């Protein structure tokens, strides 16, 4: 049984490489070229983005499937990731946020994520990115991938327990996908070996040499394949404002 502790130091960028993400200027819709690049790379940036205030993000459902509601009452198309007075969670603070897949503690987690930059901090606040394909190559190199593929784990968070694989094959696309989060109370594998392999995965993910970074500017939209990329955030100063609007799509 693996237990999780939410103790993370400020993340520095000394060993972290800059991620050169393909950028496109917003023209009111996504073009075939933009979609082709996203489907190939799993990540793009839309510059000078302006959302339609009438239907918010629902126009993108034709590309990325239905929007997954968020918020405490699950009634919001989007939520704002920003520092709040007395905020206890990472996305309500200015602290560094460790790499993760959004919603990985749920069976109905998003396949596509939008992060719309409303306000960016002057110092810090860089987005941290880890390409899951590199992680899969690492596991394949050491002949560990087949041992962990489609293996179910019991995941406990806030007193609730679900069972799901963390690395699995999508039968529809024949892609191997990832669903990882450190924001857990504990994780239980079917065997000690499964848990040891997961510990190796954790060490790989926490190694800053495997990270890349990118800093969004205001009015830039980051679109991420949540089944391939892990993302996080470097800390920013308490006296600065940083706000991203987050949208989840089910990818179906």
pLDDT tens per residue, range 100-127: 999 888 878 899 999 999 999 999 999 9
- Is 6 inside a domain boundary? no
Q: Could you tell me the residue range of the domain that residue 175 belongs to?
A: 17-249
The answer to whether 231 and 129 have CB atoms below 8 angstroms apart is yes
- Is 4 inside a domain boundary? no
The answer to whether 243 and 80 have CB atoms below 8 angstroms apart is yes
Tokens of 61: 């459902």
According to the model, what pLDDT value does residue 15 have?
A: 66
- Is 213 inside a domain boundary? yes
Nearest to 117 by CA among 60, 51, 69, 29: 51
Nearest to 111 by CA among 151, 72, 67: 67
Residue 235 half-sphere exposure toward CB, CA atoms < 13 A: 10
- Is 56 inside a domain boundary? yes
Higher pLDDT, 118 or 186: 118
According to the model, what pLDDT value does residue 5 have?
A: 43
Q: How far apart are CA 130 and CA 43, in angstroms?
A: 11
Mean pLDDT over residues 52-58, rounded? 74
The answer to whether 61 and 249 have CB atoms below 8 angstroms apart is yes
- Is 62 inside a domain boundary? yes
- Is 150 inside a domain boundary? yes
- Is 230 inside a domain boundary? yes
Residue 155 pLDDT exceeds 90: no
Residue 55 pLDDT exceeds 70: no
Mean pLDDT over residues 145-154, rounded? 94
Q: Dihedral sign, CA of 89, 90, 94, 95?
A: positive
Hey, which residues does 223 pair with through a beta bridge? 44, 114
Domain count, the chain: 1
pTM, two decimals, is: 0.91
Residue 4 pLDDT exceeds 50: no
pLDDT tens per residue, range 188-213: 888 999 999 999 999 999 998 999 99
CATH of the domain at 177: 3.60.130.10
- Is 8 inside a domain boundary? no
Mean pLDDT over residues 25-42, rounded? 96
Q: How far apart are CA 139 and CA 32, in angstroms?
A: 34
């Amino acid at each position: 049984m693996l237990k999780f502790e939410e103790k993370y130091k400020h993340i520095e960028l000394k060993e972290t490489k800059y991620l050169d993400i393909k950028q496109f200027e917003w023209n009111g819709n996504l073009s075939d070229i933009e979609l082709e690049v996203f489907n190939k790379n799993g990540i793009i940036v839309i510059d000078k983005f302006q959302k339609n205030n009438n239907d918010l993000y629902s126009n993108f459902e034709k590309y990325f499937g239905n929007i997954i509601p968020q918020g405490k009452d699950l009634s919001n198309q989007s939520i704002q990731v920003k520092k709040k007075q007395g905020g206890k969670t990472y996305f309500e603070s200015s602290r560094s946020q460790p790499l993760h897949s959004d919603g990985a503690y749920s069976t109905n987690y998003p396949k596509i994520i939008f992060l719309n930059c409303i306000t960016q901090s002057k110092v810090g606040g860089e987005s941290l990115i880890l390409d899951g394909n590199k992680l899969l190559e690492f596991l394949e190199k050491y002949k560990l991938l087949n041992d962990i593929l489609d293996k179910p784990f019991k995941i406990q968070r806030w007193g609730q327990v679900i069972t799901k694989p963390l690395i699995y094959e999508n039968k529809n696309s024949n892609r191997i996908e990832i669903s990882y989060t450190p924001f857990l109370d504990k994780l239980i594998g079917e065997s000690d070996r499964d848990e040891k392999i997961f510990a190796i995965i954790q060490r790989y993910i926490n190694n800053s040499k495997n990270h890349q970074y990118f800093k969004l500017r205001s009015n830039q939209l980051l679109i991420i394949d949540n089944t391939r990329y892990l993302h996080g955030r470097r800390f920013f100063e308490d006296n600065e404002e940083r706000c991203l609007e987050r949208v989840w799509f089910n990818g179906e």
